[in-house]
Amino acid sequence: MTILQSLILGLVEGLTEYLPVSSTGHLIIAQYLLGMKESAALDAYSVCIQVGAILAVLNLYFSRIKQMWAGLLGKNAAGRRLIVNLLLGFMPAMVIGFFLAGPIKSFLFNAETVLVSWAVGGIVILLFVRYNMKHGKGRCHEGTELEDMSWKAALTVGFMQCIAMCPGISRSLMTMLGGLVAGLSMAAAVEFSFLLGLITLSAATAYDFMKYGENMVAELGWAPMLAGTLMSWVSAIIAVKWMVKYLQQHGLSIFGWYRIGAAIVMLVLILNGLQV
């Protein structure tokens, strides 16, 4: 892997990780267009490059991190409640992922799955927005704030997150929709999605690095890996800041149309020989 290839992968990862469009699907296309051959090391790096996106959320939501730390020390009830909710939200993915991670990677990590997932996810977004508009909820969903989130809502988000184990669905999409379905405001749903991602992405990154770290370094090299991770961090900060502001004003519709367009692009690539 060259430095340029790693920078492009980092840019794609950072821009798409927290948007409801599926970073996995975009990385599959990016690797194909860059002519990169599939390997266990490259697959693992596609997970570990998430470190940059993790650091971006740590930077942008540092005040929440401090609140949770105070809660852990017994000095902040809201922070302690948020920690409990995040752990509840993580539990379903941890349990289901333990048993199904292998089969999912073996049978679902392919271009065809991403194509279907992108299209279905786009349609779901558009139907969700239409339903809300029809029932007078508007584009910018109002509801419970993060401080008042219930444990039931946290579990709802957690089980919705499990659906995103299928590549192309998007973890961010499922956790945001899960939060909205559970009655959270748009702002609370987005923030909980980001914070839950800290745990989920960190666990996935740590697992793949421990399992494939030596192979990654030998095959890809430290310099390209670090360059890609740095680019992922910078681009994720930009994407998160933009998305938070955009969703508060416009809602999710644009991502639905984008996903359908991406599915069409994926179909064209498959018809032209994409095999992943």
Band of residue 273 on the pLDDT scale cut at 50, 70, 90: confident
> How far apart are alpha carbons 23 and 20 in whole angstroms?
9
Alpha-carbon dihedral sign for residues 103, 104, 110, 111: positive
> How far apart are alpha carbons 205 and 202 in whole angstroms?
5
Mean pLDDT lowest among 78-82, 89-93, 139-143, 258-262: 139-143
> How far apart are alpha carbons 150 and 273 in whole angstroms?
48
> Per the structure block, which two tokens stand in for 238?
């930009």
Nearest to 253 by CA among 7, 20, 10: 20
Global pTM reads: 0.85
DSSP summary character for residue 1:
-
- Mean pLDDT for the chain overall: 88
Dihedral over alpha carbons 187, 192, 197, 202 (to 10 degrees): 130
DSSP sequence for 190-242: HHHHHHHHHHHHHHHHHHHHHHHHHHHHHHH-HHHHHHHHHHHHHHHHHHHHH
Nearest to 178 by CA among 191, 168, 193: 193
Band of residue 275 on the pLDDT scale cut at 50, 70, 90: low
Say whether pLDDT at 140 is over 60. Answer: no
Average pLDDT over residues 30-57: 86
- Higher model confidence: residue 135 or residue 152? 152
Half-sphere exposure of 97 (CA within 13 A, CB side): 18
CB 43 within 8 A of CB 6: no
> How far apart are alpha carbons 107 and 121 in whole angstroms?
19
Q: How many CB atoms lie within 10 A of CB 153?
A: 24
Average pLDDT over residues 114-123: 92
Q: Which pLDDT score, from 0 to 100, does residue 230 have?
A: 95
Beta bridge partners of 184: 144
Residue 142 — φ and ψ, nearest 5°?
Answer: -100, 150
Alpha helix segments (H runs only) across the chain: 3-16, 23-33, 40-48, 51-60, 62-72, 77-108, 111-134, 151-163, 171-181, 186-220, 222-250, 253-271
Band of residue 143 on the pLDDT scale cut at 50, 70, 90: confident
Nearest to 227 by CA among 5, 59, 18: 5
142: left (phi over 0), alpha (psi -120 to 50) or beta: beta
Name the 3-class secondary structure at 144.
strand
- Could you give the percent of the chain with pLDDT greater than 70? 96
Residues 70-113 have pLDDT tens digits of 999 989 999 999 999 999 999 998 888 777 777 777 777 777 88
Dihedral over alpha carbons 105, 232, 154, 99 (to 10 degrees): 20
> How far apart are alpha carbons 42 and 56 in whole angstroms?
22
